[in-house]
Amino acid sequence: MISKKEVINIAKLARIKITGEEAEEFQKEFSAILDYFEVLKKIEGKEKKNNYSSDGFRKDEIEEFTDNTLEKGKYFKVKEIFSNDN
Amino acid sequence: MTIKEINQGIKEKKFSVLEITKSYLEKKDNLNAFITKTDELALSQAGKEGDSILSKIPYALKDNLMVKGTKTTCASKMMKDYVAPYNATCVEKIKGIILGKTNLDEFAMGSSTETSYFSVTKNPHDNSRVPGGSSGGSAAAVAADLVPYALGSDTGGSIRLPASFCGVVGFKPTYGTVSRYGLVAFASSLDQIGPLTKTVEDAETVFNVIAGKDKKDATSFKRKEIKKNENFKIALPKEYFVPEMDNKIKKLIEKAVEGLKTEKSSLPNTEYALPAYYIISTSEASANLARFDGIRYGFQKESKDLLSSYLNTRAEGFGKEVKRRIMLGTFSLSSGYYDAYYSKAQKTRELIKEDFEKVFQKFDFIITPTSPNTAFKIGEKKDPISMYLTDIFTVSVNLAGLPAISIPVGKIDGLPVGLQIIGKRFDEENLFQLAKIIEKKCQK
């Protein structure tokens, strides 16, 4: 079982705004899904930390931006982070 | 038409590249298989010289694969106007004729193509049913011959399941054999690009073109040579032939493997695969989809400050299933729950890999049904768990990074049934051989 408060907190962590109604719906769904995940409690064993394997890395290269980004010259224009009324 | 037939027709001057391209462009999409049609691009590509085995063949791509200058929507409101700034590596390798971008579940999250922002694709065998997902548009387009072949991506069965529901061949390669560069990431340790085709031979042809190490994808590998084999020993794992399954499906699979060297076997941790898959894939998705913040890509909701811009953009830009998965993943990775969920799932993943390794010590291949049921009705599966259970026979393969193919082996009440062959890592060549044997048997 997961509480409505926990659902609201997860949504906040995930940066998704949800309404009170949505929180209730997600609460029901997540509780059912997490119940289903309970079966994994029986699992013992070792966790392998890295599931990727690689045979080589590359350097990052600069790609051109296209007009569907909010570019302004070489910069992104973002909303203000600190505002006066805070 | 198949790739082979088109190449032959062009060689024998039965039709030109332009003529065959136009004939495909003229076809009507009554299934909502496409999100974007790229007629102009196709005509310009058809006019260019090219001598690779795929350069004269029209094809389509799932709309989470990037084609420079073309919309790549991921079937999401978030990306509905996003234009790709570069080509995916597989597009560069194929150098073919692109007819368009096909429908999918939003960000490839689903098993029916119903979560698409651009509405569901219909199954060509019964328009009231789903095509499967998430590469549903690609599978339906191939089945209805709107394209000779298409590319899809497979994170937990997203190529094989729609192939099975639509009666086409769908191949998920060994993890790392095909570069993921230019594929919008869902769950990076599970995602793999592969073909949906009309024949096994075509799937092999496409795979041989798109496979290979790519310096732009650090998880891509050079293919390893595995000895050619002929006398295949095949395992039939009891966990995939459960009593609750439709008996007609079981019978069709048994008939398809008749005369082959089969033996009953077991993959004991199978019941843990689905929950482990949903924890790992949603966890990775929660990180991968953090980039859709309204600033760097696509849709943005105007808001008073930065935090509310993030919150509102993601609330309006993502559909319900995507939000559900991002939140589930955020939960599994969050402090206090990590050990009970994410860590347990990773341990399970290791056990599932070991299960396969044990079976492959004795056998060359594993054969299962691709799905416990045929295509279901649009709107039939309302709660998330019943939808997640659709992937029950396909997710283990992704957790273990193995190659697997779904091939059509018959129909039940007019709906196609797929048979899944699972192979050892990098053993694609032998896998195609066995798939061809079964394909031939089923055509008789």
How many domains are there within chain B?
1
B172 has a pLDDT exceeding 60:
yes
CATH number at residue B235: 3.90.1300.10
Of chain B, the percentage scoring pLDDT greater than 70 comes to 100
pLDDT of residue B222: 84
Strand order in the sheet with B169-172: B34-37, B97-102, B58-62, B149-154, B192-197, B169-172, B404-412, B415-422, B365-369, B233-237, B261-265
Nearest to A29 by CA among B313, B133, B387: B387
Nearest to B187 by CA among B406, B398, B400: B398
B366 has a pLDDT exceeding 70:
yes
Backbone angles phi, psi at B301, to 5 degrees: -100, 120
Question: How would you class B261 by CB atoms within 10 Å of its CB: exposed for 0-12, middle for 13-18, buried for 19 or more?
Answer: exposed
Annotated active-site residue B265? The verdict is: no
Residues paired with B410 in a beta bridge: B417
Q: What is the pLDDT of residues A52-73, one digit of tens each?
A: 566 666 777 776 665 545 555 5
Q: A46-50, A82-86, B236-240, B333-337: lowest mean pLDDT where?
A: A82-86
Q: How many CA atoms lie within 13 A of A65 on its CB side?
A: 14
B166 has a pLDDT exceeding 90:
yes
pLDDT of residue A86: 46
pLDDT of residue A79: 64
- Tokens encoding B272: 């843990």
Other residues' Cβ atoms within 10 Å of the Cβ of residue A4? 13
Q: Under a CB-based contact definition with an 8 Å cutoff, are residues B94 and B54 in contact?
A: yes
Mind listing the domains of chain A with CATH numbers? 4-42 (1.10.20)
Contact B275 A10 (CB under 8 A): no
Q: What is the pLDDT of residues A38-56, one digit of tens each?
A: 999 988 877 765 555 666 6
Q: Which residues contact B183 (CB under 8 A, 6 or more apart)?
A: B64, B65, B66, B88, B153, B191, B193
pLDDT of residue B365: 98
pLDDT of residue B52: 87
B63 has a pLDDT exceeding 70:
yes
Q: Which domain holds residue B271?
A: 1-444
Nearest to A9 by CA among A29, A25, A23: A23
ipTM: 0.91
- Which residues 5-64 on chain A approach chain B with CB closer than 8 angstroms? 6-7, 10-11, 13-18, 26, 29-30, 32-33, 36-37, 39-48, 51-58, 63-64
Q: A21-25, B48-52, B366-370: lowest mean pLDDT where?
A: B48-52
B312 has a pLDDT exceeding 70:
yes
Question: Dmax of chain B from CA atoms?
Answer: 69
More confident residue, A46 or B181: B181
pLDDT band at B259 (very low <50, low <70, confident <90, very high): very high
pLDDT band at A85 (very low <50, low <70, confident <90, very high): low
Say which of B76, B111, B112, B158 is annotated catalytic. Answer: B158
The minimal CB distance from B350 to the residues A6, A45, A70 is found for A45
